[in-house]
Amino acid sequence: MSALSPLTLAMPFALLVVLLAPAIDAQTDFTDVERRSGYALRGDTAVFLFDEMVHGERPGIVSVTGSMRAWSQDMNESPWLLHSVTGSGLWLLRMPGRSDALRDTEFKFRTDEGKWIPPPPAALNVRSGNLVFDPQEQRPEYRAEIVAPRHIRFFLLRGEAELQLDPAAYEIETAQGRRIAVLSLFWTGRNTLQIYPAEDLDIRRVHFLRVNSKGLRLLCSFDGWLRHTYTPLELGARYHTNTDSTVFRIIAPRADSVVLYLYSERTGAHTARHPMRRNSDGSWEHARNGDLEGSWYDFTVHGPPDPGNEFFEQMPVHISDPWARVSDDSFGRSRVRRPETPPPPVKGGRPKMEDVIAYEVHLEDFTLTLPGLAGEKRGSFAGFIESGLYNKRGEAVGFDYLVNLGINVVHLLPVQEFLHYPDDEWRSAFMNDAYMREQMVAESNYQWGYRTSHAMALESRYRTRGSDFGSQNRDFRNLVAAFHEKGIAVIVDLVFNHTAERMDSREMYFHFRVLDRHLWYRTGDDLNFIGEYGTETKSEDRPMTARWIYDQCELLVREYGVDGFRIDLAGLTDKLTLHELRRRLGPDIIIYGEPWIASSDPDYEANPDWNWYKEDAPITFFQDDTRNALCGPPDNPRDKRTDRGYAGGNGNREAAKHALANTFEHEDSPNKGINYLDIHDNWALADRFAERDWNGLLGVDEGPYRIAAAMLFTSLGPIVLHGGSEFMRSKGATPLVSYVKHTATGPVYIHGKRDTYNLRKPNLFDWDVLGTNRADGAACNYGQMAAYWKGLIALRKSSWGKVFRIDKGISKDYIRWTEPDNPMVLGYVVGGSVAVAVNTADTPCIVDSFTLPAGSWELVVNDERAGTETISGYPESSLHGGSVTLTLPPQSVRIWVRR
């Protein structure tokens, strides 16, 4: 499209669309501006428009959400689903008679598993990170905050308007409807007024500001007060030797009273009840003589019945301690437990970020089927480090297998106490359900762990069966020690962005929402929770929530020796908090995480000090662009040729080059992004590269699979592997179907193979396939592929592999590319020391201009073997510097090192 004139750029956006629009075909004829803006107007018909080319996505489902539907997260609400126009790459939703109603509403598209699609860079109709339908002049937005008993802060948040200076124009209203006059007003900043009421307000109570001249009734948000609320005192239950007393402490600044209950057993009546003393900082405490190690406890929290409060008078529940070191599952009581003695550090030191070769694994998946492991240790921390286990072919499995594989970081899916629905409730619902029995989840609620209920406690179901509650703490400390002794760091997956209190449409009261939802969570002007997962924790403007984040990380490092963290949906934790987390933990702690998704809070999205994405990431982020480039996007593939990335034959060589060099947009250093092929979410790599039916259990296209692995291991910067992908672990044991099932308390969502977070069977490690190959009658060359990945790990960790393990931006010639006319073929020499050639086509290819630096080059990786030893017996086993001619078989890879 030709450049727009200054006059055109100054026009209102809706008029601009009209002027640029040619004659429009009813189905697919839309202008470039409309395609980028995400909407079109056709008389009184509103059209939402998703263009696959504009967004760089090829989805299976497209939905639109926004302020017109209160930012609903429901992807299955049919009135908001777009429909694919066959062969056009367009998705459309036509809404007759809605053009006026949708005017100036903010919206976003979501695809497949709920991925949020950001506005395209060239869109003109962007506001606060969202697209805007037929944008008008921005309406003024106001905010009121209660700061102190005689201080209401009133300000213009966005837009243009004049603030009234007449006190008579304002009133304060309590939640019960009583009106309080305003005595005076003070300017405290541009577009900001301090309102001085005629009497002291109880700042713990809900109030509204009425601006009568504008017809406004605004909630007096607690931000003005809670952004300063903080206690430095130790929280939880802790024995102090100097006073021979156990101190219990919790924070609830808006409560009237808090009562501590003590128990001798995990169930049964309390043995003591103690009102707690309020401190001036909003914390509550009670001290008991002696060491109460092993005692059980919980609390009741009392306060006024204002809107949004969930104190005992409104919700008569006992709550557990969010700082407890031991919890009886999620629904039970807390237990007093002494700190653990930390293990020795990693032998040889923690790997630097650029050296990281992480292995992501779920503890239960890894241990439940381990040959030779005692039954009481299956699914436990202790079972994870059991040595001396072998499968029926004599192959080392479990802990020994991981040590021998050569990885230098074990990345555990969440190990903090997370939500499991009670066994009796679960069994009552599913014991006779054939599907749930077949998927091995009829007996108990399996979870990956992304539903943290008690961040300072370790998962009680990971203790050895029959052992006491709290023994898992010592077991986890020993797990870290065992890996450290082998020179392997341990990092854990943390879930800051939401908690378990509102999962699966259930209202659960563990602690935070009773203590005060407004202190811990993002809430709307209606005082209700917001967030795609039931809640969003409010890290910004809440030093106590930020402290909760810091405390759990520091505890895991200090007491258990953990070496770093992967942060789930890290984009929902504000940038300043993550920078401070890095400062507190120090530069050698490994931190990486997901830079997505968008917050449901528009104030968060609009604030550049909080909201972030790849361009200003405070941590190393998961580089999904590399995954997409090398093996395809994570969701349901449809075409083997186009949906499996460069390794699978889509011919997008430019994307593959960016993946190898870690030079996608916003990557000024290879350490900015961590590269991967697959991860626990979505499809397993084996199913993406399956020979048929997208089921890796039936066989895998092993040539492209090896190419993908070789390209990952020869990319720059850190990498993370999905545990089991090295021997083609498949999720094919569950069909690609969705169900909504129910227990007595609410729904359970089943997503099949595309998201197996609550299905046990498809996630299990099949240890018996190790050592088997097609020659043995197996569906795949499992043993050969595992050895291949082990060899690639050895190569990456070798002295030659240093060329990939770099933390600084690279020079233009650091990677020298060979690009034949056939886009399915790519050669590259990295750092003058390692040369790679791949042919992703299904036919042989001759490369007659592969240029190598001077020296002797020896083959160390081909289609059968990988490692650091020379592979002899082939014409290309030894090469000399200069221009060489290569004959590459179909779907093949070759790697040489300069001796």
- CA 483 to chain centroid, in Å, comes to 25
- Per-residue pLDDT of 212-242, as tens digits, reads 888 899 999 999 999 999 999 999 999 999 9
According to the model, what pLDDT value does residue 869 have? 97
Report pLDDT digits (tens) over 91-147. 999 999 999 999 989 999 999 877 889 899 889 998 877 899 999 877 788 999 999
Pairing of strands 45-51, 126-127: unpaired
Distance CA 155, CA 536 (A): 25
pLDDT for 9 equals: 33
Given a contact cutoff of 8 angstroms between Cβ atoms, the answer to whether 795 and 835 are in contact is no
Which amino acid would we find at residue 613? Y
Q: Write the pLDDT tens digit of every residue in 709-729.
A: 999 999 999 999 999 999 999
Residue 190's CB is within 10 A of a number of other CB atoms, namely 7
Query: CA nearest 297: which of 306, 285, 308, 305?
Result: 285
Q: For residue 673, what pLDDT is reported?
A: 96
As a whole number of angstroms, the distance between CA 491 and CA 460 comes to: 19
Tell me the three state secondary structure of residue 764: coil
Cα separation, 270 vs 260, whole angstroms: 10
pTM for this one? 0.89
Cα–Cα distance list, 669 to 178, 615, 666, 713, 733 (Å): 59, 12, 9, 17, 40
**Secondary element (H or E) of residue 513:** helix 512-520
Tokens representing residue 66 in the block: 């926004």
**The Cα angle at residue 359 between residues 355 and 363, in degrees rounded to 5:** 145
Neighbours of 316 (CB within 10 A): 9
* Closest of 579, 463, 445 to residue 500, by C-alpha: 445
Q: What is the pLDDT of residue 11?
A: 40
CA separation for the pair 833, 800 (Å, rounded): 6
More confident residue, 28 or 784: 784
* pLDDT of amino acid 27: 62
Question: Residue 157 — very low, low, confident or very high, per pLDDT cuts 50/70/90?
Answer: confident
- Rounded to an integer, the average pLDDT of 681-700 is 96
Cα 769 to chain centroid distance, Å, stands at 31
- Cα(888)–Cα(822) distance, rounded to whole angstroms? 12
**Side-by-side strand order, sheet with 815-818:** 815-818, 825-830, 834-839, 892-898, 845-861, 878-888
Residue among 96, 108, 218, 199 nearest 148 (CA): 199
Give residue 24's pLDDT.
39
Mean pLDDT along residues 193-204: 97
The rounded mean pLDDT for the chain is 94
Encoded tokens for 492: 């854990």
Helix 653-661, helix 624-631: angle, nearest 10: 140
The pLDDT of residue 129: 78
Between CA 611 and CA 522 the distance in angstroms is 14
787 vs 12: CA distance, rounded Å = 62
Q: What is the pLDDT of residues 784-803, one digit of tens each?
A: 999 999 999 999 999 999 99
pLDDT higher than 80, residue 21:
no
Percent of the chain surpassing pLDDT 70: 97
Number of residues written out for the chain: 899
Q: How far apart are the first and last CA of the chain?
A: 53
pLDDT, tens digit (0-9, with 9 covering 90-100), for 535-552:
999 999 999 999 999 999
Q: Where are the beta strands (DSSP E) in 61-104?
A: 62-66, 83-85, 90-95
Taking alpha carbons only, the member of 529, 606, 616, 527 closest to residue 570 is 616
Percent over 90 (pLDDT), the chain: 86
Q: Is the pLDDT of residue 598 over 90?
A: no
CB-side exposure of 501: number of CA atoms within 13 Å? 26
The answer to whether the beta carbons of residues 132 and 125 sit under 8 Å apart is yes
